[in-house]
Every structure is written in C-alpha cells, then in structure tokens.
Amino acid sequence: MIYYDNSATTMPDASVMDTFMKAGIRFFANPSSLHSPGMEAERLIEKAREQIAQLMGVSADEIIFTSGGTESNNLAIKGVASFYRGRGRHIVTTMIEHPSVFEACRDLEKGGYSVTYVMPDENGLVRKEDIEQAITDETILVSVMHVNNETGAVQPVKEIGELLKKYPSVLFHVDDVQGFGKVPLDLQAAGVDLLSVSGHKLHGLNGTGFLFKRHGVHVAPLFSGGGQERGVRSGTENAAGIASLAKAIRLLQQSDPEKIRVLTEFIRGQLLKREWVVIHTPLQSAPHILHFSIPGIKGEVLVHALEKEEIIVSTTSACSSKQNKPSRILEAMNVSREHAASAIRISLSRYNIIKEATQFIDALDRIVPVLAKKRNERT
C-alpha cells in the first residue's frame, strides 16, 4: 500500500509504540498519587516535558500536555477568551483555519464575542496587512495557523508576530499541527504566545499532544477537576502517551523534511506535465503536502479509484471530508466550485520513497482516462 494521507494521520513509528507499551506497563500508576509508583509516573511525565522543552528551546513549565491539536486549539482560544474577557471580546483569525480553530471561534461568537475572519489571497496566503487592519481596541487574540492542512501553504507567521509586537495587549496563537517538525519556526523571533502540536501527525499516537504557553500568558481551563498540568488541564495524565510523544519528537531531530520535499516536488513536476491537472498548493508551501484538482472528475471518485490501486489519498481535511460540501479553504481562495469538487490532497512522510511517487503518477495516467470516458458516456 502507498500511504499518501499523512496530514490526516501518520503511521506510528515502531519505537514510539515500543515506548508506549513499556511505559504503559511499568508506569501505570496515577501520577497524582503520593506513593512511589505514582511518583515514578510523575517523574516520567516531567522527564518527557523537559525533553520536549529542550528541543524547542523553551522552559519545561511552558509545556501543557493535552489530547492533541483540537484540545490544544480550543484551550488556547477559549481559554484566552475567557481569562481576558475583561480586556476585550474581539478575536482575529482567518478563513483557512482548521475546524478546531474555526468552530471554536464560531462558538465564541454565540457567546457574545466578535470574530474577524481574514481572507487569504488566491494562493491561500494571508497578508499581515490584513491582520493588522482587523485589529481593534477590543482585540485580545490573533490566531493564525502555520501550515494549512489542505493546501500546505505556509503562512507568514514570523511577519505577523513581528507586527503584533506593536500591540502588547494582543496575544498570538499559532496552530502548528501541520508545520511542527517540518517547517522551522523560531517561537521567540515570531513572538508566539501559544502554539498547538499533535502527536499523531508526527508518527506518534492518537490522543497525544501539547500546548506551548509562554510565561505570563494565562488561559482559563476548559475542564473542572483535579488541577493537573499546573491547573490548566485537569484529568489523569496519559503517562505512557506523553512518553511516546516525547519519543516521537526526539525522532524528528533525525529526519530531514527536505527529503520529503524532493518527492513532493517530483510529483508536482510530473503533474505539471499533465494538462488535465490544476495545482492549488503554492510554491511557498510545506514539504509534505500537495493539493490539486482534475476538473470533471469528483475528488471522492478519484480517491476510491486510487484506493483500488492500493494508493491512499484524501479529498480535504479528514475532519471535513465526510461533510460532502466544497472545501471552505478553496472557497476562500476563490477556487471554482468545479475545481473544488474535484480536488484531492496527497501528503507524504519520511517513510515514502521515489518508487511510490512514480507508481502514483502511473496510476493517475491509467485511471484518469477511464474515469473521463465514463463521465462522457453519462453525459
């Protein structure tokens, strides 16, 4: 099988699974317990926290473990909105955010907050000038993703962060679920206050992730409970999952995203030779994502046709793919409905090889004429 849906989830690394299994058996006790097995589990969590923080160049107490990107995004956005509501009730985000950001903002609107959704250009990139224009005296938070999960477009996070330094009362949240470990980001230079990361996008496990929360930044907790994770995220910690997350992040240091880019650019170059392909991913993109359309052939039809060839791709974000409606991201980019309906996304990982790329192109060359003929016969 050729697996090209790594933006939805990655295959867990074998050593990550091994860490999880060993930690789950040995450190099964509740980390909040006062007895020695509980204290051992707590030490395991703190060691993982220190390892991740060191690799990121931040302090260990700035890492809050969560269940993944969705929780981290909600904690950052709703947590800031709740804690700083006396300062203002306006948030700036974009129309191309992941549902866990977009819908969190929609929820806040129902609660009396106002949200400005900045539009991207035709390449799926937001402009820092548009972000600044959206800021008001009531703005408490700007939330902009680093890498778009559908098109792979890399947003000007550093430039936006530098801009926001002029607005010290405005916090800056970055959803880095798709960019972490693939596109470098200097948190200090970009002035990032909150950053979301998910383990299962990094060859880690589902249900693992963290929120980076800069010193001095406050968020109201989403959950009421025992006050774990420094009172920010109550709930018994997933010690084995946290240890496996740290292992996955350590392994990132041994991988080279540019090797993935070589494969993606090879595929892009081959697709550009086919007149029946329209590419939506801009050149300013992450190394692992390529989004394109084959007009006249519905995306889901092509997905199933490729699956018969044992090639796994997707249409839109996995969180939106079953909604059976055009991609909000492509609509915001002014992509036509025909092209949006025929769009598919491929997303690679460090485990993919050049042979798979050539097999993918060969499969398209076989499949597309057959599907086009069937479409013409129906019409």
Residues carrying an active site annotation = 319
Q: Under DSSP, is residue 309 helix (H, G, I), strand (E, B) or coil? A: coil
Q: What is the DSSP string of 198-239?
A: EGGGTT--TT-EEEEE-TT-----SS-SS-TTTTTS-S---H
User: Secondary structure of 120-188 in the HEC alphabet?
Assistant: CCCCCCCCHHHHHHHCCCCEEEEECCCECCCCCEECCHHHHHHHHCCCCCCEEEEECCCCCCCCCCCHH
Non-local (6+) Cβ contacts of 289 within 8 A are 7, 147, 148, 149, 150, 151, 152, 178, 264, 281, 345, 346, 347
**What is the chain's alpha carbon radius of gyration, rounded to the nearest angstrom?**
21
What backbone phi and psi angles, to 5 degrees, belong to 210? -155, 160
DSSP-derived letter for residue 55 is H
Question: What whole-number distance in Å separates Cα of residue 255 and Cα of residue 55?
Answer: 14
The whole-angstrom distance between residue 302's C-alpha and the CA centroid of its chain comes to: 24
